[in-house]
Structure 1
Amino acid sequence: MSVILSAAAQNRKRTEGSRLNVEYPIAEANAKELGLKKLADSEHRHHYRFSTEGQIVEIWTDDDVTYQGFLLNYIYHRKGKGGYQHNILSKKESVYTDKAKQIIAMYDSLALNGIPTEERIANWQKGLDGGDDIVEFADRDSYSIKTYWEPAVQERIPGIYIKKFFNRLEVVFQLGRKYKSFQNELPIGNYYIGMMMVTKTVKFGAKGGSSLFRK
């Protein structure tokens, strides 16, 4: 799933990159289905996208005073014979200035723009499973995308800073609670996100039961 950049994006100075510069975390067709635009094409003064498995927080501003954005929850729904086909189910809610400012203030205080992608950080712990947290940033002159495998297990700076930032993102937007609520609203079926596969066997609100997932 190669990234196709516009002429404007190709002319930008790419300030930082990672392996995902050629392999974007969401296939282009799926990104379009989710309503995600290429951040490299953004014309906003500052534009941020923070991605974890199944969730994306996107924030932008044109004056560094007021902010807009959204929280997107999504999951892949297996369908068809053998479950090899899928469609995407998602839920989006707006992000407003008060919470966005908290996140950008921490982003700036931890100097995340100056932290390189994991491949350029000495002794970054890696494993065979787990997931990547992804930080994208664009302004009118530059674009960057950086990946960090499992910040939660990192024990050294700057890994501790990345972990602290994504922990704050979780608290401010209540990401765990909102993803669980999103799962509860899904119809019965088979789903996956990252390396996690789940089967929903009881419809939410059904008589005598509630939402039930099993790995």
Structure 2
Amino acid sequence: MKHFTILVLSFLYINAFAQNKEIKGDTAFVYEYYKEFAEELQLTNFSTSQNDFSFRLWNLGHVVELVVHNDSVSAQLVNYIYRFNRKDTKRDTISSKIQLDSAKALSFYQIITHSGILDLPSDNQIEGWAQGLDGITYNIEYANSKTQWFKNYWTPTAQKSLPEALFVINFLEQVFDSLDLETYNAAFKEQLPHRGCYTFGEGLIHCYAMSVISIGYYGSTKLPFGYEVSKYFGKIGKLRTNIGIMFSHQFDRFNNCDISIYTLKNLLIKKHKYFLAYNYRIRKLNFIENENTLTNHKVYSGLQVNNNLNFLIGFDYLIANQDQWGLSFIANQSISKIDIDLFGKASLFQDRLDYQIGANKYLSIKNISTTFGLEYEQFMDFRNLKFSLSVGI
């Protein structure tokens, strides 16, 4: 029991000591942000680690970390990027972690120790180092068992011939060349889904445009053959239109068919997004008792409720043996983090509810936008499970 008590007290002492490391350098502005971001990326906690030496270099889109403990040297590279939709305020972090081989880790360690970068103060303590709002800031962190340092270097290439800036540039070139960081980062960006917008966090934003045309298979358990074609008209000539049109046709070998034309118009009014939509659908189905040809005319208006949820409401006029009017609804929920859209459609008539529920999964396969869809529909006494696969052209 005595030994156990000593062990616990020793652990508490070490932990308390580690939490009270002296922090030096420029911690006035971005230190807390990078501390939290390092935790999000599951990097080493420099404030508590008891490694002999730890070092991190932050650059736009990647961070490389080195750890020395008991004469063992290891290093890892984390590529990262922020992703969001055009109207989103919330962004998701996409990251990829790579364990560097021992040769690269040792080379990185030698560059750090031989370059003298550890002796260079942060840019706010260097006379003549200019500051700005754009450009690229390189952040350096390092720590031993007692002390932690955090330093910033804003755009060394903009410092003219300042000796300290040239020193930082030389250090960065050695690290980038030795670890081949650009190759790793290019491979990371290549595998990103070509959908939505991306940024490294300092102004530059790259957005992938929606595929102008997509075409693919669209079938179901009851109507196994079919296709769909959609086209988005951002502009017609110089006129901005923001209109999308989708045509689909399903059929079987027994003259049953389902044809649909759907159009959607986007409107941006005082920074709010609204929709107008029309859907024409004609079905010839021997599956439905006492009915043969059925035609729907649906008209909708709606709005973007929040960044990922759209809702439309309108009416559905059904032409059949007995014509009917009903209320119609569409809801669409986008889950951008996993590239899935969930949707539901419903028409409420006096004696029944017709509805569709489904999901679309978006992928980028060899830079080709690909969409997989699964949908269940109940219409009168007709039930159907639908499948789709389309590619952007």
- TM-score, normalised to structure 2, is 0.47
| Aligned counterpart for 1:205 among listed residues 363, 366, 371 | 366
Residue pairs, 1:98-109, within 5 angstroms: 98-109=103-114
| Aligned counterpart for 1:11 among listed residues 8, 11, 20 | 20
Deviation of 1:113 (Å): 1.6
Equivalent residue letter for 1:11: N
Q: CA RMSD in A?
A: 2.4
Equivalent residue letter for 2:164: P
**Relative to structure 1, is the Cα distance of residues 27 and 47 closer, same or farther in structure 2, using a 3 angstrom cutoff?**
closer
The structure with the largest helix share of the pair is 1
Whole-angstrom CA distance in 1 between matches of 2:45 and 2:141 = 10
Q: Which string of whole-angstrom CA distances, capped at 9 and with x for unpartnered residues, describes residues 145-171 of structure 1? A: 000001233322222111111111111
Deviation of 1:92 (Å): 0.8
Deviation of 1:101 (Å): 1.9
2:222 is the counterpart of 1:61:
no
Q: Which string of whole-angstrom CA distances, capped at 9 and with x for unpartnered residues, describes residues 49-107 of structure 1? A: 1110110000111134x31121000001114x821011110111002331122222222
Instruction: Tell me the residue number matched to 2:115.
Output: 110
Equivalent residue letter for 1:78: F
Q: In the alignment, is the contact (CA less than 8 A) between 2:39 and 2:45 conserved in 1? A: no
Instruction: Tell me the residue number matched to 1:24.
Output: 32
User: Unaligned stretches of 5+ in structure 1?
Assistant: 1-5, 209-215
- TM-score, normalised to structure 1, is 0.82
Deviation of 1:24 (Å): 3.0
2:328 is the counterpart of 1:167:
no
Equivalent residue letter for 1:196: L
Q: In the alignment, is the contact (CA less than 8 A) between 1:67 and 1:100 conserved in 2? A: yes
SS at match of 1:83: coil
Q: In the alignment, is the contact (CA less than 8 A) between 1:118 and 1:149 conserved in 2? A: yes
Instruction: Tell me the residue number matched to 2:147.
Output: 142
SS at match of 1:48: strand
**Relative to structure 1, is the Cα distance of residues 88 and 11 closer, same or farther in structure 2, using a 3 angstrom cutoff?**
same
- Name the stretch that deviates more: 42-51 or 125-134: 125-134
SS at match of 1:137: strand
Q: Indicate the structure whose relative CO is greater, using CA pairs within 8 Å and at least 6 residues apart.
A: 1
Q: In the alignment, is the contact (CA less than 8 A) between 1:59 and 1:69 conserved in 2? A: yes
Whole-angstrom CA distance in 2 between matches of 1:111 and 1:31 = 25
Whole-angstrom CA distance in 2 between matches of 1:50 and 1:126 = 20
Equivalent residue letter for 2:21: R
Instruction: Tell me the residue number matched to 1:189.
Output: 196
Whole-angstrom CA distance in 2 between matches of 1:25 and 1:168 = 27
Deviation of 1:183 (Å): 1.0
SS at match of 1:26: helix
Q: Which 4+ stretches in 1 moved above 4 angstroms?
A: none
Q: Which string of whole-angstrom CA distances, capped at 9 and with x for unpartnered residues, describes residues 103-133 of structure 1? A: 2222222212211100000111322211210
| Aligned counterpart for 2:134 among listed residues 107, 129, 143 | 129
Provide the aligned length of Structure 1 versus Structure 2: 199
Whole-angstrom CA distance in 2 between matches of 1:105 and 1:189 = 40
Q: In percent, how many aligned pairs have the same letter?
A: 24
Q: In the alignment, is the contact (CA less than 8 A) between 1:21 and 1:145 conserved in 2? A: no
Q: In the alignment, is the contact (CA less than 8 A) between 1:77 and 1:189 conserved in 2? A: yes
